[in-house]
Amino acid sequence: MKKIVLLLSLAVLASCGSNAEVSVPTENLNEVLACLDAKGLIAKYGAKSVILDTAIITGDDTLRGAIIFPGTAKQANVFFHEGKISDVSIQGESSAWKTASGLYLGLPLQEVEKLNSKNFTISGFGWAHGGSVVSWEGGKLAGDSTLTHLVSFRNKRQIISVEEFNKVSGEAEFDVRHPAIQQMNPVLEQITILKPYIPSKEEGKGIAKKIESSQMPVH
């Protein structure tokens, strides 16, 4: 009888543990980016699921863009450059979306390291842009000229002491191999996939002129 009770207890504990984990989403966020423009979004997801030209609050910024599937687990923010989709983002504790590279909200840092195939660098915690990836250090998630990833992690301050947390806080950069970061093993709370913007030759010349003029000494 004791053995049966023990087995039942272990089964309950295993069930509770699995429920606490974030399940792997099935929707592909890259397909949103592939819609190319607003018409593509509506064609793929339907006009009722797309809100165009609306204000989107992200961090300290308020930007204009589109929202698909607002108020649902499939909500995603879509931003444009010259009428074309430039980036797509999700944020929060969980989402129905994941990237083609395997990223999803709630994924622990150590799992992100595996997807990147190496360590990477993040900003210190405890401020507006804390826990954001500064550099993928040439790993797989750095992407290429067609797509890259921007992500930020939610800190788990309660897991470590205040002293240890302070060692990886503030406007500084830290290798994720830092013992305090590894102990926290924070999870993803924001993911953005974007097409890197490459200026045209004319735009490049204009940017160069602005930089040159700003650096010229005033007589």
pLDDT one-digit tens code per residue, 158-182: 788 999 999 999 999 999 999 999 9
What's the CA gap between 107 and 120, in Å, rounded? 15
The reported pLDDT for the residue numbered 88 is: 96
In a domain, 188, yes or no: yes
Label residues 140-165 b or e (16+ Cβ within 10 Å = b): ebebeeebbbbbbbbbbbeebeeebb
Task: Name the more confident of 214 and 195.
Answer: 195
pLDDT value of position 213: 52
The Cα 214–Cα 219 span in angstroms is 13
Averaged pLDDT score across all residues of the chain: 83
Q: Phi-psi category of 106—alpha, beta or left, where left has phi over 0 and alpha has psi -120 to 50?
A: left
pLDDT of residue 42: 96
Residue of 181, 150, 148, 190 lying closest to 59 (CA atoms): 190
114 pLDDT above the threshold of 70: yes
Q: How confident is the model at residue 198 (pLDDT cuts 50, 70, 90)?
A: low
Indicate whether 144 pLDDT > 70: yes
Q: Tell me whether residue 11 is in a domain.
A: no
Q: Assess whether pLDDT exceeds 50 at residue 2.
A: no
Give 57 or 219, the one with higher predicted confidence: 57
Residue 106 lies in a domain: yes
CATH number where 194 lies: 2.60.460
* Three-state secondary structure call for residue 197: coil
Q: Is residue 210 part of a domain?
A: no
Against a cut of 0.75, is the pTM above it?
Answer: yes
Average pLDDT over residues 8-19: 37
Rounded-to-integer distance, Cα 194 and Cα 45, Å: 20
Domain assignment present for 213? no
Q: Which of the four pLDDT bands, split at 50, 70 and 90, describes residue 201? A: low
Residue 22 CB-density burial (10 A; 0-12 exposed, 13-18 middle, 19+ buried): middle
Q: How many domains are there within the chain?
A: 1
Given a cut of 60, whether residue 200 has pLDDT beyond it is: no
**Contact in structure between 134 and 175 (CB atoms under 8 Å):** no
Domain interval for residue 83: 24-199
In a domain, 49, yes or no: yes
Q: Tell me if 219 is assigned to some domain.
A: no
The helix/strand/coil state of 155 is: coil
| pLDDT for residue 56 | 75
Q: Please say if the pLDDT value at position 34 is more than 90.
A: yes
155 domain residue, yes or no: yes
More reliable by pLDDT, 213 or 177: 177
